[in-house]
Amino acid sequence: MMLTPNKPTSINNTPNTNHHLSNGGTATGNSSATSPLSVAATANNNEQNQQCVVREQDQYMPIANVIRSMRRILPSHAKISDDAKETIQECVSEYISFITGEANERCQREQRKTVTAEDVLWAMGKLETLLHDENM
């Protein structure tokens, strides 16, 4: 998958999401709204949707950071294909998105606004448990 700059991507910003990004533009409100209340609701929805627009290159961890991490682990003479770099970039970004989303959901359930290191570690443990259960 080639990364193209400035391609908008929308994020499903509802509680209890699957933490996945979906390609495409943002959703818009009902354009046929006529009452002041529905017009205000439509304007509010459009504002929320505009805040959720993420450029495709911004949804991934920077490729330079990914390559640097890969080079630290691999032997100095190892070569890394562009496809491998992009695949690792996507995997790392998805992992971070999942962990962050799970930690955030925990905070919401507990009616807190700040994600702590404990929340992140809890989410990592939850993922480890899910992966372990799938392998059994």
Beta-carbon contacts of residue 12 (< 8 Å; ≥ 6 apart): 18, 20, 22
CA pseudo-torsion sign 123, 124, 128, 131? positive
- The 8-class DSSP code of residue 15 comes to T
What confidence tens digit (pLDDT) does each residue in 32-70 have?
444 344 344 444 455 555 566 666 667 899 999 999 999
The architecture that CATH gives domain 60-136 is Orthogonal Bundle (1.10)
Query: Is the pLDDT at 30 greater than 70, yes or no?
Result: no
Residue 25 is given by DSSP the state: -
For 84-115, how does the pLDDT look when each residue is reduced to its tens digit (9 = 90+)?
999 999 999 999 999 999 999 999 999 999 99
Res 130: pLDDT: 85
The C-alpha atoms of residue 9 and residue 21 are separated, in whole angstroms, by: 7
Give the number of other CB atoms < 10 A from CB of residue 38: 13
- CATH 1.10.20.10 in the chain is located at 60-136
Q: Determine phi and psi for 62, rounding to 5 degrees.
A: -55, 135
